[in-house]
Structure 1
Amino acid sequence: MSHYPRDEFDDVPEAPRRQGVHRTKGAVESGRRGIGGVIIAAAIVVILVAAALFIVPKLLGSSATTGPTAGGSSSAPAPATPSATPTPTTAPSSTPTPTQSAPVQADKTLAVGIYNATSTAGLGNRAATAARNAGWTVGGVGNWTGSPVSSSVVFYKDASQKASAQALAADLGIATVLQAQQLGYPLAAVVGPGYTG
């Protein structure tokens, strides 16, 4: 036996509890359950994002294609009927002429988003340069994250912007113009396969 005075090292319990990296079986299993929950939550998020990116734009695209056609058809007969009635009485031929010429004018101050929907690098920037050279205000250039497109298309947000969308499409050499109300910009040009600029 030693005759040294007692200190804190002499008070070590005979059966110390485990510390540090020693884990019990229950702690390991609860960690595994936590990871499983995270993986399931991540899978649900991926499914929701995929639905938002691919399914919703297709549904909106089909309604946007049907909407302008029905709106255009219904708006064409409506002005024809009222203009036929007042024309014999007061000759307002000057009134329909400005109404017809106003939609033809393009508002090049509208912000335009240019998106590359191809694997060709720099095609969006090339289209943006062409739009700027034609006098358009390009708000942003990026890669298209919406539903896949088979050809280039110009989208417009509001029906009053259709003439501007058609003018932008003509300046960029794009044949298709559609309405999509969920755009971030008033106009968006999506450069698809076959675009030559």
Structure 2
Amino acid sequence: MTEGAERPLRADARRNREKILKAAVQIFAVEGLDAHLERIAKEAGVGSATLYRNFPTREALVEAVYRNEVAQLCDAAPALLTTKPPFEALRAWTRLFMDYVTTKYGMIDALRAIAATGSNPYGNSREMIRSALGVLMDACVAAGTIRTDITPADIGAALEGIALTSASPEQRQQAERLLDLTLDGLKVCRTVE
């Protein structure tokens, strides 16, 4: 193994890490970033030492939670295409995007603080999200269900706009309506002759 390369985690260590990330998302969403890390460890069913071995600081945990949420969102795109027609997969993914944004907003102050230290918790998340969106849009274009003159950057901007105005849980119904309106605007207009 080369210097600086990380050793792959054992299966049990990987499961513990995943349980910690899942618990952290839930607890941060409810209690905010001031939630005690020991509470997260307890919710995950691991000891505090296991949590700190994986995430030595609160900032490391927040950054890992964020990156994990981005990865799950992006991984959902091809998975949805295996179970739904392309346009329905795109529709389902936009709902997952809103879930992701809601989680992100719960961590925004911590992410900004991490960024202020010179670290980049966001990495290439925007590019990853646009790429996932591109996979869905390409499938829709191939199926003839959406217009071809719209880019993933266009839809990404629309989704970000909806998120900025309607990301809180109490605004979810409005977000759903706005998502439907946006998606309806993508559909190919078929004229009846």
TM-score range, shorter chain: under 0.3
Q: Which structure's CA Rg is the greater one?
A: 1
Name which structure has the greater RCO, CA cutoff 8 Å, separation 6+. 1
TM-score by length of 1: 0.23
